[in-house]
């Protein structure tokens, strides 16, 4: 950890101590967790997925229902980035911590399945997943591996193998509610955890942004690792404004190997 400042090293050691003492640690990850893997975040000026009003309109349930080809045209570059992305060191570090029993679950706002690719087993996906698609007519479920490659490579809009209607990626668009089971599970984890790590999230999108406050209200410790401040940095036991792809592996190294 010699590449970190003395202050950052102290914060890493304190965070590692909190993990070692924890009996029920939960992680909340946002879009910033996957930017080191080449997937754009949502709100960075000029580069975020929602940095234009047009993107917010196209990525809506209304647009998908009325002009799905417009949605898929917008979605294809993102799908390509997700299709080719690999877990970064932070994803792998969380998987190692879970395997060693230091993390109970990961609540993620991401749809890229990189936590699962890294080896994490208990992942609560708040905004859906790119792993499956559902038919808009007969509700048949299709594994994304069966059609994602042709869509990414050729722009071929996926259709249901049973009824030929358009398949919708199982991601949450504007105008859709969060998955009920995922939301209930996330709230339960927030209430029951004794430590929550928030990483790569600006905590600006409700209702998920309220989960760390639920954890605090039930007596949990809070660690925040993000490039920018969040509304809860002042309440956190540890807040580190540095590259999470470096910080989280350093914390995991301290937890696992001292």
Q: How confident is the model at residue 48 (pLDDT cuts 50, 70, 90)?
A: very low
Name the average pLDDT for the chain: 92
What local confidence, expressed as pLDDT, does residue 57 receive? 83
Residue 20 has pLDDT above 50, yes or no: yes
Architecture of domain 1-39+88-127+178-258: 3-Layer(aba) Sandwich (3.40)
Range 162-191 average pLDDT: 95
Cα–Cα nearest to 34, from 199, 205, 221 = 199
pTM over 0.85: yes
127-171 pLDDT tens trace: 999 999 999 999 999 999 888 888 999 999 999 999 999 999 999
- Residue 141 corresponds to which tokens in the numbers above? 């479920």
- What is the domain partition of the chain in residue ranges? 1-39+88-127+178-258
Task: Find where tokens 């404004």 sit.
Answer: 241
Token pair of 12 as six digits: 């890493």
Alpha-carbon distance of 104 to 120, in angstroms, equals 10
d(CA 173, CA 61): 6
Q: Does residue 49 register a pLDDT over 60?
A: no
Whole-number pLDDT of residue 167: 96
Question: Among all residues, which ones are annotated catalytic?
Answer: 127
Residue 191 pLDDT greater than 90, yes or no: yes
pLDDT in tens, 218-256: 999 999 999 999 999 999 999 999 999 999 999 999 999
Query: Residue 230 and residue 127: Cα distance in Å, rounded?
Result: 20
Model confidence at 54, pLDDT cuts 50, 70, 90, reads low
């Amino acid at each position: 950890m010699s590449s970190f400042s003395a202050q950052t090293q102290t914060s890493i050691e304190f965070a590692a101590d909190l993990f070692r003492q924890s009996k029920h640690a939960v992680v909340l990850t946002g879009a910033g967790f996957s930017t080191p893997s080449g997937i754009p975040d949502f709100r960075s000026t000029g580069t975020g997925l929602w940095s234009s009003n047009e993107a917010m309109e196209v990525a809506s349930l209304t647009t998908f229902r009325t002009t799905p080809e417009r949605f898929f045209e917008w979605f294809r570059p993102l799908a390509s980035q997700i299709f080719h992305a690999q877990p970064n060191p932070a994803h792998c570090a969380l998987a190692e911590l879970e395997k060693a029993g230091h993390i109970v679950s990961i609540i993620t706002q991401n749809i890229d399945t990189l936590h699962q690719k890294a080896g994490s087993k208990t992942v609560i996906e708040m905004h859906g997943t790119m792993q499956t698609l559902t038919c808009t007519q007969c509700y048949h479920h299709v594994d994304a591996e069966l059609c994602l490659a042709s869509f990414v490579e050729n722009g071929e809009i996926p259709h249901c193998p049973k009824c030929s209607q358009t398949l919708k990626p199982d991601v949450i668009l504007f105008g859709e509610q969060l998955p009920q089971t995922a939301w209930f599970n996330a709230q339960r984890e927030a209430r029951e955890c004794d430590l929550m790590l928030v990483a790569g999230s600006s905590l600006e999108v409700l209702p998920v942004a309220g989960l760390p406050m639920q954890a605090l209200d039930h007596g949990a410790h809070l660690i925040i690792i993000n490039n920018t401040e969040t509304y809860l940095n002042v309440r956190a036991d540890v807040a580190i404004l540095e590259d999470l792809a470096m910080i989280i592996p350093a914390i995991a190294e301290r937890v696992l190997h001292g």
